[in-house]
Amino acid sequence: MQVTDNTILITGGGRGVGRGLAEAFHAEGNKVIIAGRGKKALEETVSANPGMKAAVVDVTDGDAIVRFANQMKRDYPALNVVILNAGIMRAELVQGGGLADAEAIVATNLLGPIRLTAALLPMLLSKPRAAIMTQCLPGWHSCRWQ
């Protein structure tokens, strides 16, 4: 991937690894849009990095992802790179009978990236150079598209 002159969406870009990636790509002269649920972290990151943009999305919400993809298409038509970084890490204590954490992990780390990729892919395929990158998330590598 060429690392300059891109328009890059980074999910989970308001803090942690995502914020680090956002600031590094921003410093390299890319237009960076960060996304996540928490407005506060997004606003703090944007105000520390003039020119960076932010948008709110919950990647566990399929309908919200469709609306979000439409928003990206409308507001950032040059978008050509997506970094699927938003994720959660929790202990899956299924022995105790509770599946809530396991289900949340699958919804966030697996379904979220698949849905977001599906929603943004038509836009990315129209670009002469485009890239999708993802964190190492369980199950993701079995997903294929053309």
132: how many CB neighbours lie within 10 A of its CB?
Answer: 17
- Are 73 and 42 spatial neighbours (Cβ–Cβ below 8 Å)? no
- Write out the binding residues for ligand NAP, residues 99-118 only, by CB under 6 A: 108
Size of the site for ligand NAP (CB under 6 A): 23
The rounded distance, in Å, linking the Cα atoms of 6 and 22 is: 12
Query: Does 49 interact with ligand NAP (rule: CB under 6 A)?
Result: no
CB of 81 to ligand NAP, least distance (A): 17
Range in contact with ligand NAP (rule: CB under 6 A) among 21-29, 47-55, 56-64, 138-146? 56-64
Which residues does 127 contact at the CB level (< 8 Å), separation at least 6? Answer: 80
Query: Does 38 interact with ligand NAP (rule: CB under 6 A)?
Result: yes
Q: Can you tell me which of 55, 66, 88, 121 binds ligand NAP, judged by CB under 6 A?
A: 88
Residue 81, classed as helix, strand or coil, is strand
Query: Does 91 interact with ligand NAP (rule: CB under 6 A)?
Result: no
Query: Does 36 interact with ligand NAP (rule: CB under 6 A)?
Result: yes
CB of 50 to ligand NAP, least distance (A): 20
The rounded distance, in Å, linking the Cα atoms of 95 and 33 is: 40
- Are 33 and 81 spatial neighbours (Cβ–Cβ below 8 Å)? no
The rounded distance, in Å, linking the Cα atoms of 93 and 97 is: 8
Q: Can you tell me which of 16, 49, 53, 114 binds ligand NAP, judged by CB under 6 A?
A: 16
Binding positions for ligand NAP, rule: CB under 6 A: 11-12, 14-18, 36-38, 41, 57-60, 85-89, 108, 135-136
